Structure 1
Amino acid sequence: MDNLDRGILDLLRRNARAGYGDIGGVVGLSASAVKRRVDKLVSDGVIRGFTIQVDPAVDGLSTEAYVELFCRGTVAPDELLRILSGVPEVVEAGTITGSADAMVHIRARDIPALEAALEKVRLAPNVDHTRSAIVLSRLIHRATE
């Protein structure tokens, strides 16, 4: 990857529907050269796919929380993945440093649905307890993938 590829990626992150000619005009390449580079970035696995992002509120998922997950003993990331994959309201999760074992981002229709999702997580055999923070308003959201 070179600086031209990085420039193409930056432009596609801002607008995945941008035309190759428009991108080429910014980075200084022809439309066909941009297409070849994008095709190579896709075949190399740098670009994993093209997608849309829908406002979660449109899908009725306007309630969200960040949940610290505390486990009993040592739990492998694969086990956490298995536990959390079974809860469709979990939209992101990762193991973290600090006293909690994982941070989980949950989206639900409303508070009762959020509570039901939390109960699914808490009932897993290796989960000791959780600590939740409900999001009141989103201030910044940058798509990184």
Structure 2
Amino acid sequence: MDDIDEAIIRCVLRDARATYAEIGKEAGLSPSAAKRRLDRLVATGAIRGFSALVDPQAMAWHTEAFVEIYCKGNPTPAELTKALNDIPEVIEACTVSGAADAMLYMLARDIPHLEKAIQRVRSTAPVDRTESAIVLSRLLTRPRL
């Protein structure tokens, strides 16, 4: 990975729909060279995919919860990621130290919606049980560095 690759990655992180011309301008390449470099970054796995970031507020999802998951056996982080990937209410997922295997941050429209989403989490192969804490109010939110 060189400075050009890093410039390409910065550009698509900022806007996954950037054109090859925009990526090339950012990285100092022609559009066709930018396409070749981007394709190589995807082929090597440096870029694993592209996605849309949807504002949960636009969808009127206001119910937040932190959910600990406890797994059967010893699934790998990749297995957990695969199991949770198709549950859009899971906004973040992390493996953690302590008794739980992972911690989820979930967002839903309301309590019934959250309950259905947690049930989908529970029904995934590696999950044995969950423990949930619903957010009542946000005290402090800082931007990520």
TM-score by length of 1: 0.67
RMSD: 3.5
Q: Please list, as runs of the form range in 1=range in 2, the aligned pairs for 1:11-90 lying within 5 A after superposition.
A: 11-69=11-69, 75-77=73-75, 81=80, 85=84, 88=87, 89-90=89-90
Structure 2 gaps of 5+ residues are none
The count of aligned residue pairs is 136
Residue pair 2:69, 2:128 contacting (<8 A) in 1 also? no
Structure number with greater Rg is 1
| Alpha-carbon offset, residue 48 of structure 1 | 2.4
Share of identical aligned residues, percent?
A: 43
Establish whether residue 134 from structure 1 lines up as the match of residue 135 from structure 2. Answer: yes
Structure 1 gaps of 5+ residues are none
TM-score by length of 2: 0.67
Cα 1:112–1:140, aligned 2, differ >3 Å: closer, same or farther?
farther
1:103 maps to amino acid = M
| Alpha-carbon offset, residue 97 of structure 1 | 0.8
Cα 1:135–1:17, aligned 2, differ >3 Å: closer, same or farther?
farther
Measured in 1, the distance between the counterparts of 2:42 and 2:16 equals: 13
Secondary structure of the 1:67 match is: strand
